[in-house]
Structure 1
């Protein structure tokens, strides 16, 4: 058995290292994100203010919504600083679900137009 001599003591960590538990981010990052969120919200409200209608309205609103959600999740929920495995665990399932929904939407259009063309009606 190989033992260390009794007179050698293990050094305790310095006091500053004990208090450094979490990660600190500069306030500038948060202020910039708040500014971006304000601009994106203003753009989202301007869609209604300028009476944008039709598909463009919904594309703009959903785009602004997704951008704001992405900023909130990445910065305020600290996902930008997480391990890549955790990011993949959170982002991949919604992306896969969105892909499947898109494929079902394409298939439903194909089915609808096939019925209209060959059966003479959509119902």
Structure 2
């Protein structure tokens, strides 16, 4: 019984974890570099979000072993946050349209 348990265990090389750790370090350094360079506006926030999403993806894929799981489990974990982000984007577009409509009505004096 122990032989079958050992045969089904996954052994990931330590090199993989070290490479991921190095990438996380580089991405964190890039995040701090954004503040150091005093980047402002949309560029700043898009870079911060990009680095954050890449770091989260690395952590989930390697350290939480999601890269070696079944596709169904991956869908269960990744689809709800993706759907939430899509709905937030739709609401932001709708809110921007509503604000523009209200401002246009106030300017026209209605």
Normalised TM-score (structure 2): 0.90
**Larger RCO (CA within 8 A; separation ≥ 6):** 2
Structure 1 gaps of 5+ residues are 1-12
Who wins on radius of gyration, i.e. which is larger? 1
- Out of 109-118 and 20-29, give the one that drifted further: 20-29
1:104 and 2:91 aligned = yes
RMSD, aligned CA: 1.6
1:119 and 2:106 aligned = yes
- Give the equivalent residue in structure 1 for 2:53: 66
Matches of 2:80 and 2:44, distance apart in 1: 27
Structure 1 runs, 4 residues or longer, greater than 3 Å off: 15-18
Structure 2 gaps of 5+ residues are none
Q: Which has the higher helix share?
A: 2
Instruction: Map Cα deviations across residues 27-86 of structure 1 (whole Å, 9 max, x no partner).
Output: 111111011111101111100111111121111111111110110000000000000000
- Out of 72-81 and 23-32, give the one that drifted further: 23-32
